[in-house]
Chain A
Amino acid sequence: MSEPETDSEKARDEEFRKALIALIPQLRAFARTLAGDPTAADDLAQDAMMKAWDARRSFELGTNMKAWTFMILRNQFYSEKRRSWRQTQLDQEAAERTLVAVDDPASPVALDELRMALGGLPAEQREALILVGAGGFAYEEAAEICDCAVGTVKSRVSRARKALQAILERGDYERDGKSASEVMGSILAHAERLSGAR
C-alpha cells in the first residue's frame, strides 16, 4: 500500500518520533484536564499520539509541534464525545463530574479545590485557561488549537480567571464544611510554598 521509503523519509520519521515521545508528558497532562479520569485520559492521549503519527507526513518539521499535537488531541476528544453522546448521554454535567472525580489523597488540598472549581467553568473557558495559564501557549497558539479567534481566547481566559476566583471565594460547592475563605487561604498558602520552592 505505502510506497517504499526513502532514507530521508526514514530519517524524518525518526526525528518526528523523537519529538512526539518528548511531548507525551504534555499530552497526558492536557488529556487529563479534558477527560478527567486518568485511565480515559491516557486512552485519549494514546489515540491522539497515533493520529499524530499517522499524519506525520502532513506535519511541517520546524513548526510548532506541541500546538499541532494538542489540536489533534482536542479534536479527538470532542469527536469521541460526540460519538458517545447518544450511548452515554455524556453531557456537560457528566464531564464536570469526571473532572471533579479525581480524588488523589496525596495531592494538596488546594489542588482538589482548584479541580472542583475548574469543573464549574464552561468547557470552552476551562480549556482556554488551561492552554494559556498552564500549558504555556500564547493566545495566538491557543486560538489555533481551539479553532477560534484570538480575541475569543482572550475573553474566555479573562472570564475563566474571574469566574474561578469568584467560585473559590464564594465556595460554590460543599466540601468538608470548609468556608470559602479557608479555601482561598489554602490556595494562597500553597502558592507561596510553590514560589518558595523555586
Chain B
Amino acid sequence: MKPLCRELERHLESGAERLPDALGAHLTGCAKCQRAWRLHQAYQSALHAARREPMPACELPWSRIQAQLAARAVSRRPFAWVRPALAWGTAVAVVLAVGAVLFPFGAQPPSQGVSLVRTPAYVQPESGPAHNAPADTGTLVAAERTPPSMRVVAQATPRLRELTRPEPPALESPNTNAPAPRRRVTDRATLPSSDGATRMPTSRPNFEQSVAVASLPLTPFGVSDQAAGVEYLPISYGSPSSYHEGSSDEAVIGSF
C-alpha cells in the first residue's frame, strides 16, 4: 500500500469530510482509494440524513413512572421478611453445624463407653453345671470381676436368658393348680455397688454370665474394644418379642 493510500485511509477513519489537495489528486489515479472515498461520502450523507430525521417526542408522562414506582414499592413490601429470615436461618444452621462438629451426639468413643449399669460377674464352680442349675440351689459363687474378660453389652435394659428367668416365689394359694403370677424383671430391686454401678442382688444368681449394660454408642455393626474389654453388640430394631427370638449377639431396641 502506498503512503498516500495509507494517509487517505487514516483520514477517512477519522471521519473527515474533506480531503487535502494532495489526497484529492491521489484519488484520480487510484481506483481503490476512489472507491473508499465514495463509500465514505455515502456514509457521511447517510449520517446527515439520519441526524435530520425527525425524532418523535417521548410522550411518557411522569405519572406513569410514579405509579410504577409506587406499585413496585408495594409489591416488594410483603417479601421484606425474606432477607432477615434467610440471614437468621443461615446463622442458626451454621451454629448447629459447628455444634454438631464440636459436640457430636452419640459419638462416644468405644474406649470411653462407660457402662451405666454393671453387674458383677458370677461364675459357677468348676464342678457344677454351667447353665441348668436350679436358681435356688445357692451353689453359684460370686467371682471377682476381671475387666478384660468382662462382657459389656450395649442394650437398654439388663438382658436375661429365658432359661434363667427367675421363678416367682411360691404363693400360698388355696388353688395349687393355678399358675403363679409372673413378676417383671424390672420390679426387682438392684443394689448399688461400690464402683457406682448397679449391682444385681446376689440372692438371684440367675444371670448366665457377667452382663454390663452400656448405653452408647449404639452401632449397627458392632464394635469390639479389646483394650477395654468392652464389646458393643450390633443394634437391631424390633419389638420386645423379638428380643427373645433374635440372636443373642445383637442388642434389640424396642419399646418395653
A and B associate in one complex: no
